Structure 1
Amino acid sequence: MPMIATPSVHSLALLLLLSFFLGFAFEDFFEQRKSARPGGVRTFPLLSLGGGVLYWLDPTHLVAFTGGLLVLGVWLSIFYTVHLRERDDQGERNAGLVVLLLNVHAYLLGAIALALPHWVAVGVTVTAVMLLTGRDWLHRLVRKVDTREITTAAQFLILSGVVLPLLPAEPVTPLTSITPRQVWLALTLVSALSYASYLAQRYWQRAAQGLWMAGLGGLYSSTATTVVLARQAAVSESFRRQATAGITLATGIMYLRILVVIAVFNLTLARALAAPMLGLAAVALAIAALQYLIIKAPSGEATQPSERGNPLELGAAAVFAALFVAISLASTWVKTEFGTQGIYWLAAIVGFSDIDPFVLNLAQGGTAGIGEHAVAIAVLIAASSNNVLKAAYAVAFGGRRTWPSAVVLVGLAIAGVVLAAWLAKIAA
């Protein structure tokens, strides 16, 4: 008969600690509701010890452990039969399963603590306690979240968890070295940042106030944020302070977002861009702070909700993917026909649209034969070109109330071109 390993002292101590922790949380939660339930600070440690001992007796076939689980199941079934006769405060039948599941969890915890790595036992127990104590908050969240958001989250899971692993990791055409998986990975990363910003502005009340909206908008699209804030300023003088500083702030966040996204795919390129991008971001953030402090705050300043829609609609994802592929093909053709100078001109042109596909294409090596310095120069040119576009939007939609931000954006564009020229001089 093979020898059975004796449980370590650390495993037994962890088992007791976690079962007591679970029992304390259980009793505290139900004491507030003045309702008696099976389980608690004594029951859960006993269940865990019992489950651990029964597992230890036969860790191969688990006959004793399974028998103990069946006995526990019969006992809980009897309780649940009586429990179903109860009514909650609204007169509804009390059919919750949380109490039963926590008792089963306490029993299984014995085997988990002895058989699996300790982080597994800690992780599942902490998760169970958080789900128990966060019941009211989770129910409020469910009532608050729109059903469409759940559908959208499902779409994101399909994009990242189903489609991404199935795409080929090799180029499918000699026209570009970008693979379908790289295209989709770029789409997933940008969509994740955009969706996080969108959810914060939609469900976090403070995110729609002051400069929070502008900062989070910069994670999604500084161009769209500029249009929204400029329109708000045009409607009412009370939005001038927020719009002026917010447009500059969103552009400062844009530099940081681009740098982070590049670092995910190309750390070497991110290092080359770190100094200029962080410098431009610091200047933009400092000017935004000065604008917010200098411009007089109107009485009763208010904000309007963001006008942008959900960034994870499948239509928007398809457009992004198509742009990514088109820019990758255009970059390869321009590099072949016109050399590195052609890439710089292309950067200036795409800056008047969405620069993310262009930047990500370069970061992933979509244009062969172009060095890191040349790529960094192209990124700075594209960002500067985009700033000129935003300056035009600020004046067109906000008029005189947002012209200070337009001036700052033009200044940042000039600074970006100067830095690009400096990098070109270094590379020469």
Structure 2
Amino acid sequence: MDNVELFQRLGLAIAIGAAVGVERHWRERDEPEGARTAGIRTFTMFGMAGGVAGLLERSIGIASGYPGITLTGFLIAIATVMAIFEIREAIAEKSFSVTSVIAAILTFGLGALAVLGDMALASAGGAALIGILVSREFLHQAIRRLQWVELRSAVILLAMTFVLLPIIPEAPVGPFGGVSPKSIVLLVIMLASISFAGYVAVRLFGSERGDVLAGAIGGLVSSTATTVAFARRSRTEEAALTLGAGAISAGAVSLLRTALLIGTLAAPLLPALLAPLLAAASVLVVYALLLARRQQAAGPQAVPGNPFELAAVAKMALLLAAVAFLARAATQQFGGGGLIIASALSALADVDAATVTVAGLLPSIDVNLAAQAIGVAVVCNMAAKAVYAGIFGSLRFLLHLTAATVLSVGAGLIVWGLGVAA
């Protein structure tokens, strides 16, 4: 490591300390001189101390046969001094907070990391530390507003994602490629996440905007799963209009995502499919916005009482997994000769599978046949979502989703026909 790099690393350590110091000093900017324990200068020196300790560790600590002794000595000294002054300040102000002490220790550690380790990791750690410090008011307010049912749902979702999912076997079970237990659990997590995101969005932005935003985000993952999740909510909640708007916005995002996939994986199909997809998506966007505006005119709706019910989510996931299995089995039975039928069947669960499959067959199949296969898959997926809405959702939800689907498909077919005629 040459001197230029050492200067860069030490400079990063000092910059991390200065950035943390700006936040710490800003919070106590109205205090008179000598009334704060540590501000911008002190935290800058904490970062510099970490960098200097790292340099000494490189040249002295490792060579002495006692690696880490230099860093440990510096850290103990800094933590002790900072703690003593924080205790004096806390007694004077009658407050209890260890944030500045921990921030000082982390600043020192990140300064040492900048010299001894990965500079990118040190930079990211510094940004994360500052982000945590500046978000104090937001986090405190969020905790004050947090309800037990929200905390419980979040814990369940985290447990399923980071505890249950890693230990579930991934190997598929059964004929025709089988069904992977991990894929079912992943589908449960996805449905629960969509429901939870919708709940949070409604809490933050109100039902007239929250459901539409949550639906659009869910459409990036799976418009089918989003539609099923919103349909279930429409049975127990009064906000059928905004839930319908959310499901419709998910469909619009799904169409745009399909166009992006085609442009990425099957560019020769884009001239034939781009205009119909954009026309269909535009109709859905307009319909969703009109529904949301109607709900806003009707007045605010109550926030749902539960982010998601695990039993109901699990049943929906099993149904979608069964549909996907039957579609895959039928696809294998029809083979390549029944591309249109196979695409239609696979789209009962998700249109992405059909898009990727058809794209993988190019250029061995005719471009027109490939475009027709994807077009049929898109229409069948939209029709399937209307059927799911009828199974899981309220009548009002079903009527709006069906109307939007018919108008959207009609607009897409008209544009398709005009393109063929031209």
Does the alignment reach a TM-score above 0.5? yes
Residue-by-residue CA offset, 1:326-372 (whole Å, 9 max, x unaligned): 2233224444667758767867xx9xxxx6x455776797xxx9x97
Q: 1:33 to 1:186 in 2, by over 3 A?
A: farther
**Helix, strand or coil at the partner of 1:213:** helix
Counterpart mapping for 1:18-417 below 5 A: 18-32=16-30, 36-59=35-58, 60=62, 61-83=67-89, 85-86=91-92, 88=94, 94-202=95-203, 204=204, 206-209=205-208, 211-217=209-215, 219=218, 221-222=226-227, 243=241, 247=244, 250-257=247-254, 260=257, 268=265, 275=274, 276-287=276-287, 301-305=298-302, 307=304, 309-311=306-308, 313-335=309-331, 340=338, 357=349, 374=373, 377-387=376-386, 396-397=395-396, 407-414=403-410
Deviates more, 1:137-146 or 1:52-61: 52-61
Q: How far has the Cα of 1:98 moved from its partner? A: 0.6
Distance 1:262 1:66, change over 3 A: farther
The change in CA–CA distance for 1:83 and 1:135 in structure 2 (over 3 A counts) is same
Q: Could you tell me how far apart the structure 1 residues matched to 2:106 and 2:391 are?
A: 60
| CA displacement, residues 167-206 of structure 1 (integer Å, 9 cap, x when unaligned) | 334323233354333444444444434432321112x1x3
Worse overlay, 21-30 or 409-418: 409-418
Relative to structure 1, the CA distance from residue 325 to residue 417 in structure 2 (aligned partners, 3 Å threshold; closer, same or farther) is farther
Moved more, 14-23 or 272-281: 272-281
Q: For each residue in 1:68-99, what CA deviation from the matched residue of structure 2 results, as whole angstroms up to 9, or x when unmatched?
A: 112223323433543553554xxxxx231111
Amino acid at match of 1:323: L
Q: Is the 2:279–2:408 Cα contact (8 Å) retained in structure 1? A: no
Q: Is the 8 A contact 2:9 2:119 kept in 1?
A: yes
Q: Does the CA-based 8 Å contact 2:172-2:181 persist in structure 1?
A: yes
State how far apart, in whole Å, the 2-side matches of 1:153 and 1:361 are. Answer: 30
**What CA distance in whole angstroms lies between the structure 1 residues aligned with 2:182 and 2:291?**
43
In structure 2, distance between residues paired with 1:395 and 1:152: 24
**Residue 144 of structure 1: CA displacement?**
0.7
Shift, 1:65, TM fit: 1.9
Contact 1:113 1:121 in 2 (8 A): yes
Q: Separation in 1 of the partners of 2:148 and 2:15?
A: 40
Aligned equivalent of 2:222: none
Residue 114 of structure 1 deviates from its aligned partner by: 1.0
Report percent identity of matched pairs: 20
- Identify unmatched segments of 5+ residues in structure 1: 89-93
Which residue does 1:91 correspond to in 2?
none
**What is the SS of the residue equivalent to 1:37?**
coil
User: In the aligned structure 2, how far is the partner of 1:383 from the partner of 1:333?
Assistant: 21
Q: Secondary structure at the match of 1:126?
A: helix
Count of residue correspondences:
390
CA contact (8 A) 1:19 1:44 kept: yes
The residue matched to 2:91 in structure 1 has which SS?
Answer: coil
Deviation, structure 1 residue 103: 1.9
* Equivalent residues of 1:223, 1:390 under 8 A apart: yes
Q: 1:334 to 1:45 in 2, by over 3 A?
A: closer
Per-residue CA deviations over 1:86-136 (Å, capped at 9, x if unaligned) read 554xxxxx2311111122123223312212232222222222223223222
| Whole-Å separation in 1 of the counterparts to 2:252 and 2:138 | 36
Cα deviation code 1:195-246 (max 9, x no counterpart): 32321112x1x3423x5534534647446757988999xx9xxx9xx94x98
SS of alignment partner, residue 174 of structure 1 = coil
Deviates more, 1:111-120 or 1:138-147: 111-120
User: Counterpart of 2:286 in structure 1: which amino acid?
Assistant: A
State the SS of the aligned residue for 1:39.
Answer: coil
TM-superposed CA distance for 1:253, in Å, is 3.0
Q: For 1:150 and 1:269, how far apart are their aligned partners in 2?
A: 44
Superposed CA deviations along residues 134-165 of structure 1, whole A, max 9, x for unmatched, are 22221111111113322222222222223333
Q: Is the 8 A contact 2:110 2:122 kept in 1?
A: yes
**1:230-265 deviations in Å (ceiling 9; x for gaps):** 999xx9xxx9xx94x98467424324247649989x
Partner letter of residue 160 of structure 2? Answer: L
Which secondary structure does the structure 1 equivalent of 2:96 belong to?
A: coil
Equivalent-residue separation in structure 2 for 1:317 and 1:395 (angstroms): 17
Q: Contact (CA 8 Å) 1:392, 1:406: kept in 2 or not? A: no
Note the aligned Cα RMSD (angstroms): 4.8
8 A Cα contact 1:263 1:270, kept in partner: no
Which amino acid in the other structure matches residue 47 of structure 1?
F
Residue 169 of structure 2: SS of its match in structure 1? Answer: coil
After superposition, the Cα gap between the structure-2 partners of 1:379 and 1:75, relative to the gap in structure 1 and judged at 3 Å, is: same
What amino acid does structure 1 have at the position aligned with 2:248? T
Question: Residues 24 and 41 of structure 1 are in contact (CA less than 8 Å); yes or no, is this contact kept in structure 2?
Answer: yes
Task: Give the C-alpha shift of residue 394 in structure 1.
Answer: 10
Distance 1:216 1:160, change over 3 A: same
Shift of 1:166: 2.8
Q: Distance in 1 between matches of 2:132 and 2:292?
A: 41
Report the TM-score, using the length of structure 2 for normalisation: 0.71
Q: Which runs of 5+ in 2 are unaligned?
A: 219-224
Judging changes above 3 Å, is the alpha-carbon distance between structure 1 residues 419 and 306 closer, same or farther for their aligned structure 2 residues?
farther
